Every structure is written in C-alpha cells, then in structure tokens.
Amino acid sequence: MKNTKPPLWELREISKAFPGVQALDKVSVSIFAGEILALVGENGSGKSTLAKCLAGVHQPESGELIHQGEPVEFAHPFEARERGVATIYQEFSLVPTLSVAENIFLGRYVVKSKLTGIDWEMMRQQTSEILNTLSIQFDPDEVVRDLSVAEQQLIEITKAMSVDSTLLIMDEPTAALGLAETRQLHELILRLADQGQAILYISHRLDEIFQIADRITVLKDGRCIDTQPASSLEMMEVVRMMIGFDIGQHYPKEINVTSETCLEVDHISTETGVNDVSFDIKVGEVFGLGGMVGAGRTEIANALFGLDRLTEGSIKLYGEPIQLSNPADAIHAGIGLVPENRKEDGLFFNFNGSLNITLSRLSSILKWGFLNLTQEHQTGKYYFEKLNITSSGLERSAQFLSGGNQQKVVIARWLFSQAKLLIFDEPTQGVDIGAKIEVYRVINDLTSQGYSVILISSDYLELLAMSDRIAIVRDGKILQISPAKELTEYELLSIASGAEGNGNG
C-alpha cells in the first residue's frame, strides 16, 4: 500500500567504519512518509550509527542518502535538520531550569525588535499551538525541572517537531519510561504517523515494536539482515535474526521452588506508601512484583532492604525476625538489591571488577585485620569465571563492560555477600536480548542453588515468563497474588492499571 509511493528517504549501501570495527556494511533501507519503521538489533549492531548517518552526525564512507529522489550529503547535523530530519537521542537536551516554551525555542528565540527584545507572548502562543496539534496538555510556562521524565520526553518530541520535520528519529525513547508513559508516547507516535510523519524507531523492547511498527529492519554486526512488514513477522523470528541462532526459548524459565520458606512479610506499612503488605517467598522461588510505575513496587523493595523504615508489621527471614534500619542490616541478614538504575545506584564505574564485587563483604578478605589485596583479586576472578563475565573487565574499570556484564558484576557482589534473597529491580532495562537471556540464566542458576528472588519488572512478558508467582501492586497495596501461569498479560495489565476495578466494581 504505502510502498507503491516513492520512498521519502532511501539509504543505499551505507558503510561506516570506526577504528577496529565495521559499524555499517552496505546497509540499504527505505523509509516512507507516514510509516513507523523499527530498527532492531543487539548492542553494537549498528542501529545508532545508521541513525546518526541519517542525522548528519556521522558521515558514511560509501553509499548514498537519497531524499525524495535527490542524493544528499550532510557535513553537519543542521544540514540534516534543514532536510526535515529531527532526532531525539537517549539523553535529553532540555535545560531543566527553563520553561517549556523557552526550551522549545532555545537558540532561535523570536525577537520583536531590537528595543523590546524577545517576544515572549509570541513564543508562548506558538508553543501552545504546537502542543495542541500534538494533543499534549502543558502550560508553556511550566519549568522543565518540575516535569516527570515522561513529560520531559514529550517536550523533547515537541521541540523536535516544532521545526518543520518530515522524519523523526527516536533512539530508545522508552528506556526511562514506565508502561503508562510508554503508552502515552506510543499514542503520540501513532498520531504523528497518521499526520504523514515518517518515524525511525530504535528500541530494544521487541514487544513495543510489534505494537507500533509498520515494518521492521533487523541489523546484525553492521549488516542489514532483512526488512519485513511487522504483520508478517513473529517475535521469535526477529530474535533469531538479531542474535543469529535459535535460542529455543526466549525466556528459559526453570522451576526450582521448594517447600521451605525464605521470607515472611507480615502486614508491613511505611511512610513512603506501602500499605499493609503481606506475602511469603519460598526458597528457590522467583516472586514477581507487577504494577505500574509508581504503584509501590520499588517502595516494597526499599522496605525489605532497610532503606525505608517500617511503621507497622514485621519481616522474618528463614523464620528469624529481622530488624532493618539501614541497608547494612539487610545485607547482614542476607538480602541483596540489584537496583533499577545501574549507573547511578549500582556500579562503581571507575573501579575494576574485583573492587566492585568485594565491597559487599570486605570483612571476609581481611588478613591480620587488613585487606588482602591478592585475595581480593582472586575473589574477583572467581566470580568473573563463575558468572561468565568478560575477563578483561577484571583489571579495567567497569565502565568498559557491556550492560549485561555490568549487571552480572552487581549480582556477583551479592553472591559474595552471601545474600540468600536477591531483589532485582528492572534487571533487564536497557540491555540487549543476548544479555537479557544471560540475566535470566543467572536467575535460574541462583534459584537452583537455593537463592530466592524478588523480580520487579515493567516488561510484563518477562515478568509473566520468569516468575513463579506474581503479586500485583497498586497504590502501595498487594491486590492479588497468583501463580504466574494462571495470569495473562491482559489480566495483569487491567488489574494493575485499575481498569478492571472500575468496570466490575
């Protein structure tokens, strides 16, 4: 249908090399007006490089960029802008202390006259108009700092759209968003496509790509594997194309639940909104916490890790009551937290692998009361081998490890601390499929060795597949606990969002 028209953009045999790596190898892709083209592939497959060639950030070494039949070359990103290419990168480019209108018009303020200066009224008005055409409700005077991450994302898009653009490139736009915000963003993207925008959408999350994309292009090692209409593809086929082999099962779930009880949570409440929550976890179980962003899942995890004080209720680990007034207490009791934000809360980026692991239990590598550095190094080596982490990361700082390997370093830290219960808060956010499967395998290994796991995830397919039981959380309460097998994604979503409660009373 759309393909009968000539393409808006045609990329012909684009190649680009960086020192030591052929990032793109003769990649050809066409983009049509009004379509959402998804670009998928593992980390390092060349997705972002291709987008940056189109945005004028990188200059391809060979190949052609053709805009409506006319070959073009970009020496600089603003030349791409002039051709109607708008890009939204993973990192936001907003100034937090300025208002929505000021951000949208940043660098191109409307000037009334030399004497009276900037025409604020005009800018406000134009901002409102743009926001209206995108059906986004915002006060142009609102300061960006006061907006949520999702709202800032919408402003970022508005800013990109405020300059006449025909192609919008989005690189992992939902990485920082929860489910509700992702849905809001997708509605906006679909609306834009309806209005004739072409959208190049880069994402790790295959489920969302299948929800919105018209066509899917798969890249692997800098080559274009295939481009197909989304409707004619299965998710498993895409995974196979991305990683180059058949993984058998996307979610390699093993059931390792025993009858022994690990954790008993008895009617706990906190000032942060956890409201009379009770549940228990068996040894070897993966206990999923489902719910919207802000429903109280992270708050429950924080209470179990001694970050938030209990106002009521009690917690028992292996039948022993435990008092948690800080993370040190939780760690001592045998609880570990793999935090949601690896970069800010998990990893020591400038330190090597061993240093990143041993700090959870420095007391065990003491000799005559001092740290035994040799033993520390050996400990790091042991865990790198055990968890199959790239050995080069042992000596080099953790920043050079891939996302999946970084996650495994954080997990190793808790294995070393002799934790028995591990809380995973969004463990696969922002890591590629190969690394995700690695994390799932680690979870399987852990449960088979008698560790218990609390899994918090906004990826509902993952949560349903990897959990043994799932507790659905809303407004700081657990609404229901059921075996993961008996839940569908639809049920989980409707209960978590409250849609069901409104309908049936």
Partner 1 sequence: MSDQEMEAIKIESKSGGNGVLYAIRRITAFRESVLLIVIVVFAIIMTVASPVFMTPLNMEAMLLALSVEATIAVGMVLLLISGGLDLSVGSILAFTGVVTGLALTGGIEAFPAIILGLMAALMVGLINGLLIAKLKINPFITTLGTMITVRGLLLILASGRAVLNLPKSFTVIGQGRLFGMQYPIFALLFLVVIIDLLLRNARFFRQSYYIGGNENAARLTGINVDLVKIFNYCLVAVLAGVAGLMLTARFGSASLTVGSGIELRVITACIIGGASLSGGDGSVLGAFLGALFMGMLANALNLLGVDVYYQSFITGLILILAVVFDVLNERRKASGS
Using CB under 8 A as the criterion, which residues of the chain lie in contact with partner 1 when the complex forms? 19, 305, 307, 326-328, 330-332, 337, 339, 344-351, 355, 359-360, 362-364, 366, 369-375, 377-379, 382, 396, 400, 413, 415-416, 418
Tell me the closest approach of the beta carbon of residue 406 to partner 1, in angstroms.
12
Tell me the closest approach of the beta carbon of residue 341 to partner 1, in angstroms.
8
Nearer to partner 1, 278 or 399 (CB): 399
Q: Which amino acid is at 284?
A: G
Phi-psi label, residue 240: left if phi above 0, alpha if psi -120 to 50, beta otherwise: alpha
Nearer to partner 1, 111 or 371 (CB): 371
**What are φ and ψ of residue 73, in 5° steps?**
-135, 135
Q: How many C-beta atoms surround the C-beta of residue 194 within 10 A?
A: 9
276, 254 contact by CB (below 8 A): no
Tell me the closest approach of the beta carbon of residue 89 to partner 1, in angstroms.
19
Tell me the closest approach of the beta carbon of residue 355 to partner 1, in angstroms.
8
**Tokens in use for 17?**
């090399």
Q: Which of 286, 268, 297, 285 is nearest to 496 (CA)?
A: 297
Nearer to partner 1, 184 or 375 (CB): 375
Tell me the three state secondary structure of residue 193: helix
Nearer to partner 1, 116 or 363 (CB): 363
Give Cβ neighbours of residue 66 (< 8 Å, ≥ 6 apart).
Answer: 7, 9, 10, 11, 12, 72
C-alpha 25/C-alpha 505 separation (Å) is: 57
- Residue 198's alpha-carbon distances to 32, 35, 189, in angstroms, are 6, 5, 10
Nearer to partner 1, 48 or 174 (CB): 48
Tell me the closest approach of the beta carbon of residue 373 to partner 1, in angstroms.
5
Tell me the closest approach of the beta carbon of residue 302 to partner 1, in angstroms.
10
Q: Which amino acid is at 74?
A: F
60, 14 contact by CB (below 8 A): yes
Nearer to partner 1, 387 or 437 (CB): 387
Nearer to partner 1, 19 or 503 (CB): 19
DSSP state of 261: E
Q: Which of 225, 302, 258 is nearest to 47 (CA)?
A: 225
C-alpha 30/C-alpha 37 separation (Å) is: 9
Nearer to partner 1, 251 or 400 (CB): 400
Tell me the closest approach of the beta carbon of residue 394 to partner 1, in angstroms.
10
Tell me the closest approach of the beta carbon of residue 488 to partner 1, in angstroms.
35
How would you class 333 by CB atoms within 10 Å of its CB: exposed for 0-12, middle for 13-18, buried for 19 or more?
A: buried
Tell me the closest approach of the beta carbon of residue 292 to partner 1, in angstroms.
24
Nearer to partner 1, 111 or 373 (CB): 373
